[in-house]
Amino acid sequence: MNNDVRIAMLGSKFMGRAHSNAWMSVNKFFDLPCGAVMHSVCGRDEMATSAFGERWGWASALTDWERAVADPDVDLVDVCTPNDVHAGPAIAALEAGKHVACEKPLAGTLDDARAMRDAAELAKADGLRTFVWFNYRRCPAIAYAHRLIRGGGLGRIFHVRAQYLQDWGGPETPLVWRFDAGQAGSGAHGDLNAHLIDLTRFLTGEEITQVSGAVEETFVTERKLPGGGTGKSTVDDCVLFLARFAGGAVGSFEATRLATGNKNRNTIEINGERGAIRFDFERMNELLWWDDTLPSAQRGWSRVMCTNAGDHPYVEAYWPPGHGLGYEHGFVSQAADILASVGGAEPVVPIPDFADAWETQRVLAAAIVSAREGRAVPLDEIG
Ligand code: SOE
């Protein structure tokens, strides 16, 4: 590939695996102006990172992220580290002249997110691009809903109803980094409401202007430490909040890691004057669509299988109708859109850059203020 993009990835856990799979697969499934070169992976433990690099096809493995970021043979740094280690490497990479792709949320804190936004703005002058891995935008059903809604398919939007329900956060789950406010910033809120805020802003095209009625709760306050004993969880297990959108719609958001019986149930419903959509990631190839412009006798929820090449975005790169895509394809499709963007082409679906992800981070922060001060918070207050 004449325009190779040499990638240094920081992190080698769950997202490290999802991104490695994406970088090793993307040029097999997509015809792109650029090729992904898996240059180096950086992790905390030398032996484990070396084994990870070997398994997933990274040319080299190291434990010093500053060396990885400064390497003149690296074009793009892919940040898959815990949230408190997003800003440092991302800003250093931009200052070293690299494009940056960063996992969601943009950062664990508003201050870090602001610094990343500002560094990205400065780096634009050098033609550097930033990307945030809000992977669910690239589910074909979501990307198709985006096309329907932004084309006026629902008309005026009245309601946005978003839930992200997981149930892995029970008392048996040990005190990993996601339960430490110093590393994660927040719990289910920054982890899962971040996806919901990004998706609803993306689908409606409307910014959130006010957050109110927020509730933050930590049900499991003590968790087992891997080496024995217990430690205090310093983050939320769930955050719920209400929102107003710039176009007049109202919304409800719920993110939790204790919704027993829900594994990765990321669901969105949007109700408009001409119809409605429902999406449930646990049935990610389907979009439920209500067309209220039909004669009343014919109105009903259509279960659209979003697996038709040409009709539904990204599908043509993968399988025939009805064969279905999975969680991993969202990352492969995002890697394709990143390489397209770096190569000067348009992504199939817009990719949030740091400035876009900053808007999501502001809503996350507004919800915490609303929960802790018991009041409605206009987004103008959060800057
Ligand atoms: C953990 O809750 C997690 O890995 C999220 O961080 C991801 O964004 C989501 O896709 C799956 O669950």
Q: Ligand 1 pocket, 193 CB below 6 A?
A: no
Element (H, E) at 273: none
**Which pTM does this prediction carry?**
0.98
Q: Please, what's the b/e burial string for 93-122 (b: 16 or more CB within 10 A of its CB; e: otherwise)?
A: bbebebbbbbbbbbbbbbebbbbbbebbee
- Distance CA(168)–CA(187), nearest Å, equals 12
Q: How far apart (Å, rounded) are the C-alpha atoms in residues 56 and 58? A: 6
Give residue 330's pLDDT: 98
Is the per-residue pLDDT at 1 higher than 90? no
What average pLDDT does the segment 218-228 reach? 95
**Number of CB atoms found within 10 A of residue 182's CB:** 13
- Distance of alpha carbon 264 from its chain centroid, rounded? 14
- The predicted model gives 331-349 an average pLDDT of 97
Q: Which two tokens stand for residue 206?
A: 């409307």
Whether ligand 1 lies within 6 angstroms of the CB of 168 is answered as no
In this structure, which residue's CA is closest to atom 5 in ligand 1?
Answer: 191
Number of continuous H segments (helices) and E segments (strands) in the chain: 11, 17
How crowded is the C-beta side of 52, counted as CA atoms within 13 Å? 27
363: confidence class by pLDDT, cuts 50, 70, 90: very high
pLDDT of res. 365: 98
* pLDDT of amino acid 227: 86
* Ligand 1, atom 6: closest residue by C-alpha: 191
**For 180-207, how does the pLDDT look when each residue is reduced to its tens digit (9 = 90+)?**
999 999 999 999 999 999 999 999 999 9
Give the pLDDT band (50/70/90) at residue 226: confident
What is the tens place of the pLDDT at every residue in 266-282?
999 999 999 999 999 99
Q: What does the pLDDT look like over 82-107, one tens digit per residue? A: 999 999 999 999 999 999 999 999 99
Q: Which residues pair with 130 in a beta bridge?
A: 100
- Provide the mean pLDDT of the chain: 97
> How much of the chain, in percent, has pLDDT values that exceed 70?
99
All structural domains of the chain: 3-135 (3.40.50.720), 138-325+341-373 (3.30.360.10)
| Calpha distance 51→42 (Å, rounded) | 12
The string of DSSP letters for 129-195 reads: -EEEE-GGGGSHHHHHHHHHHHTTTT-SEEEEEEEEE----STTS---GGG-HHHHSSSHIIIIIHH
Name, in order, each residue with C-beta under 8 angstroms of 67's C-beta and a sequence gap of 6 or more.
none
- Ligand 1: residue of 14, 183, 239 to mutate (most ligand atoms within 8 A of CB) is 14
Say yes or no to pLDDT of 236 above 80.
yes
Q: Does the beta carbon of 83 lie inside 6 Å of ligand 1?
A: no
- 2 — pLDDT class (breaks 50, 70, 90): low
Confidence band of 335 (pLDDT split at 50, 70, 90):
very high
Measured from the Cβ of residue 375, the count of other Cβ atoms closer than 10 Å reads 12
**In angstroms, what is the span from residue 119 Cα to ligand 1's centroid?**
26
- With a CB cutoff of 8 Å and minimum separation 6, the contacts of 111 are none
**What is d(CA 143, CA 139) in angstroms, rounded to the nearest whole number?**
6
At residue 120, the 3 state secondary structure works out as: helix
Average pLDDT over every residue of 219-242: 97
How many angstroms separate the alpha carbon of residue 41 from the centre of ligand 1?
Answer: 21
CB 234 within 8 A of CB 182: yes
State what percent of residues in the chain have pLDDT above 90.
99
Nearest to 194 by CA among 111, 116, 104: 104
DSSP 228: S
Dist. CA 296 → ligand 1 center (Å): 40
Q: Is the minimum distance from the CB of 191 to ligand 1 under 6 angstroms?
A: yes
Q: State if residue 301 touches ligand 1 by the CB under 6 angstroms criterion.
A: no
Mean pLDDT of 158-167: 98
Q: Which residue's C-alpha comes closest to atom 2 of ligand 1? A: 191
For ligand 1, is residue 75 a contact (CB within 6 Å)? no
pLDDT, one tens digit per residue, over 34-61 is 999 999 999 999 999 999 999 999 999 9
Closest ligand 1 atom to residue 103 Cα is 8
